[in-house]
Structure 1
């Protein structure tokens, strides 16, 4: 593990970025480090994470530290918390970026993908990708485990360190697919939007209920997203939005928000997006570095505050 850092780290803001070895996560690390933040770049693959940190060092960004983290493993999150506590004593910024789409695209790789997509606008590219994607129960289960539970495990482990900061921030990378309009039942929509009564235990239970209904073919009858693709992804991001708003209510001394970075070109969507990873990361970093006393419990659609419904 590379533990190099600049002198006087206590004078710098300390940030953790999950899923920081590629795509939007790597660009978030790059942009935070370029703004004088000491970044703990995390990834579950040690070889890829170390390589990403070394690449940032080679570009002149020395204040990047790699630490192994599988967000779906609570013991990994605990080890990360111990490392930060012992080395820095606090954490100022947590970016929960790690995630999966919960589906597989069946694509003929004999033809260059960009040749297939030439002339298509972003909406057409997305539609093309959806038409070539399939989703299994096992993928849905993994999606909830990483996207929702992973966000919760990491946030819970690092919460005392964020509270030790004079201005702790949490940014949960979400999606417009997590908006409640995708749910078919008003009951679930209202419950997820009723932040005063929402609890972590209920969010956990919703995750289990969704997977049970997915397995038994009862999604539509019980009010879940059911008529399109990426069903588990939509539910996972809706749960993240609910978790964000609930945590902001329970911990008002912190700034806790979720961000839809836009439809970005990353390997999760075979580079079919309309924005670059750097542009998507820019929205996340702007929210993470907002002036003190800024909004909390808010869903940002890129750079604008937007309703989560």
Structure 2
């Protein structure tokens, strides 16, 4: 499945804005080694943006990353303007599917800080095609709908294609894996390294219709990264052949998103076993009003961000290889 990663675009040189961010960071911190350093992917809006804001307010030094430089810089400026305690934040461009972009972020973090204490893999895409006209009008239709009605409305107004499914797996699973593997040496340099993978209730194994698939994704004693990626290849083959339902994959809409998040959950558990010195967990932020949910959610981004922040700040003897919903540690099934 590594063929899905590709290079995502031409090699982009480190931007002047990114370098400015580093200079700003140095100017605002008198003792660079005294604060924990966190990096958040997909940090320019929604849950990612609020996660950056809340981590900064808790006294962490935050590297906010996003694909779009202009939006990322605007997000950083907004957080800095929002009040005292939010100034220790810097932007760096990052496309999680582009190895050269990931490499530049690794170099930046190493050069500026020498380590990374918290990685929050938040960047993700929905894996469906949506009518922008409907998305623009959706806020007028939300009132009066319960959660189930909102989910159903979103399903009915989303179209899954093979290309969208492939991009979803590529970003939501392989992107998180690429960033994690690249930053692992810097996380291992921390005295209390944390990896937080932002998943979804859609990634729970109850969404799978095949008992064999549920067991395989849940059998962490036997499951390997290689086998996990073989399963993702099988899913995409079945998607292309219109065999999702017949072979027991999640059906009823957002199939690729559900499979990608289930794979991310499994990857979280595999890596947690491999690196017991780190705390490596995944979570759902809940059903948040954001672009991802076409603003059909029931939680604000601020409420959604509280869960990744809480998991990122777990104590050194806290759980690892676990999944958290908004009530605490929960089942992967």
Q: Secondary structure at the match of 1:11?
A: coil
C-alpha separation between the residues in 2 aligned to 1:110 and 1:164? 44
Match of 1:40 among 54, 63, 69: 63
RMSD: 1.4
State how far apart, in whole Å, the 2-side matches of 1:81 and 1:302 are.
31
Residue from 82, 87, 95 that aligns with 1:70: 95
Contact 2:135 2:294 in 1 (8 A): no
TM-score (norm 2): 0.90
How far apart are 1:106 and its partner, in Å?
3.0
Q: Distance in 2 between matches of 1:86 and 1:181?
A: 44
Q: 1:219 to 1:293 in 2, by over 3 A?
A: same
Whole-angstrom distance in 2 between the partners of 1:168 and 1:180: 28
Gaps of 5+ in 2: 1-17
> Quick one: distance in 2 between partners of 1:238 and 1:307?
12
Aligned length: 308
Partner of residue 124, structure 2: 99
Residue 96 of structure 2 aligns to a residue whose secondary structure is: coil
- Work out whether residues 138 and 296 of structure 2, in 8 Å CA contact, stay in contact via their aligned partners in 1: no
Distance verdict in 2 for CA 1:181–1:109, change over 3 Å: closer
Can you list the C-alpha shifts for 1:140-185, whole angstroms capped at 9, x where unaligned? 0000000000000000000010000001001000001001111121
Q: Which residue of 2 aligns with 1:191?
A: 216
Structure 1 spans left out of the alignment, 5+ residues: none
CA shift for structure 1 position 115: 2.4
Partner of 2:304: 280
Of the structure 1 ranges 179-188 and 25-34, higher mean CA displacement relative to structure 2 is found in 179-188
Name the structure 2 match of 1:291.
Answer: 315
Select 1:222's aligned residue among 224, 247, 250.
Answer: 247
Q: Is the 8 A contact 1:283 1:303 kept in 2?
A: no
Q: Is the CA contact 1:97–1:172 (under 8 Å) kept in the aligned structure 2?
A: yes
The SS at the match of 1:128 is helix
Q: 1:249 to 1:140 in 2, by over 3 A?
A: same
1:22: Cα distance to partner? 0.3
What is the TM-score with the length of structure 1 in the denominator? Answer: 0.96
In structure 1, C-alpha distance between the alignment counterparts of 2:135 and 2:88, rounded to whole Å: 41
Is 1:9–1:38's contact at 8 Å kept on the other side of the alignment?
no
Partner of 1:170: 195
* Secondary structure, counterpart of 1:267 in structure 2: coil
**Which is further off, 148-157 or 60-69?**
60-69
State the alpha-carbon separation in 2 of the partners of residues 75 and 137 from structure 1. 26
Q: 1:124 aligns with which of 141, 149, 152?
A: 149
Structure 1 residues 107 and 65: CA distance shift in structure 2, 3 A: closer
